[in-house]
Protein backbone atom coordinates (compact mmCIF):
# COMPACT_ATOMS: atom_id res chain seq x y z
CA UNK A 1 0.00 0.00 0.00
CA UNK A 2 2.81 2.37 0.80
CA UNK A 3 4.34 2.05 -2.65
CA UNK A 4 0.96 2.81 -4.23
CA UNK A 5 0.68 5.97 -2.11
CA UNK A 6 4.15 7.05 -3.28
CA UNK A 7 3.20 6.44 -6.90
CA UNK A 8 -0.05 8.39 -6.47
CA UNK A 9 1.81 11.25 -4.77
CA UNK A 10 4.41 11.30 -7.52
CA UNK A 11 1.77 11.29 -10.25
CA UNK A 12 -0.17 14.05 -8.48
CA UNK A 13 2.94 16.25 -8.39
CA UNK A 14 3.59 15.51 -12.06
CA UNK A 15 0.02 16.46 -12.95
CA UNK A 16 0.32 19.73 -11.01
CA UNK A 17 3.59 20.61 -12.76
CA UNK A 18 2.18 19.80 -16.18
CA UNK A 19 -1.01 21.76 -15.46
CA UNK A 20 1.05 24.81 -14.50
CA UNK A 21 3.18 24.45 -17.62
CA UNK A 22 0.09 24.08 -19.81
CA UNK A 23 -1.41 27.24 -18.29
CA UNK A 24 1.82 29.13 -18.95
CA UNK A 25 1.99 27.90 -22.55
CA UNK A 26 -1.64 28.88 -23.18
CA UNK A 27 -0.92 32.37 -21.84
CA UNK A 28 2.10 32.62 -24.15
CA UNK A 29 0.06 31.52 -27.16
CA UNK A 30 -2.65 34.07 -26.35
CA UNK A 31 -0.07 36.84 -25.93
CA UNK A 32 1.78 36.00 -29.14
CA UNK A 33 -1.46 35.64 -31.09
CA UNK A 34 -2.50 39.09 -29.87
CA UNK A 35 0.88 40.52 -30.86
CA UNK A 36 0.69 38.93 -34.30
CA UNK A 37 -2.96 39.53 -35.21
CA UNK A 38 -4.09 42.21 -32.75
CA UNK A 39 -4.28 45.94 -33.22
CA UNK A 40 -1.06 47.82 -33.35
CA UNK A 41 -0.10 51.42 -33.85
CA UNK A 42 2.22 51.67 -36.74
CA UNK A 43 4.27 54.81 -36.65
CA UNK A 44 6.07 55.77 -39.81
CA UNK A 45 9.20 57.86 -39.65
CA UNK A 46 10.06 59.23 -43.05
CA UNK A 47 13.66 59.92 -43.86
CA UNK A 48 14.54 63.12 -45.75
CA UNK A 49 14.54 62.44 -49.46
CA UNK A 50 12.73 59.12 -49.12
CA UNK A 51 9.67 58.66 -51.31
CA UNK A 52 6.39 57.66 -49.69
CA UNK A 53 3.79 55.32 -51.10
CA UNK A 54 1.04 56.60 -48.82
CA UNK A 55 1.36 60.38 -48.56
CA UNK A 56 0.83 62.47 -51.65
CA UNK A 57 3.36 65.23 -51.24
CA UNK A 58 4.72 67.10 -54.24
CA UNK A 59 8.44 66.68 -54.55
CA UNK A 60 10.58 69.83 -54.68
CA UNK A 61 11.89 68.80 -58.12
CA UNK A 62 8.31 68.62 -59.43
CA UNK A 63 7.49 72.11 -58.14
CA UNK A 64 10.48 73.54 -60.03
CA UNK A 65 9.25 72.03 -63.32
CA UNK A 66 5.79 73.64 -63.11
CA UNK A 67 5.20 76.84 -65.11
CA UNK A 68 4.44 79.92 -63.05
φ, ψ at 63 (rounded to 5°) = -65, -35
What ranges do the domains of the chain cover?
Answer: 2-65
String of b and e for 26-55 (b: at least 16 CB within 10 Å)?
Answer: eeeeeeeeeeeeeeeeeeeeeeeeeeeeee
pLDDT of residue 24: 98
CA 6 and chain centroid, separation: 43
pLDDT (0 to 100) of residue 32: 95
The answer for residues whose C-beta is within 8 angstroms of residue 46's C-beta and 6 or more apart is 52, 55
- pLDDT tens, residue order, the chain (68 aa): 899 999 999 999 999 999 999 999 999 999 999 999 887 766 667 677 777 776 665 555 655 566 65
Q: What is the pLDDT of residue 6?
A: 96
pLDDT for the residue 58: 57
Which of 66, 62, 44, 63 shows the shortest CA–CA distance to 53? 44
What's the pLDDT score for residue 27?
Answer: 98
Amino acid sequence: MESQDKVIESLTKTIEIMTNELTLLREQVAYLTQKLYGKSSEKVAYQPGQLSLFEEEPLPEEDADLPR
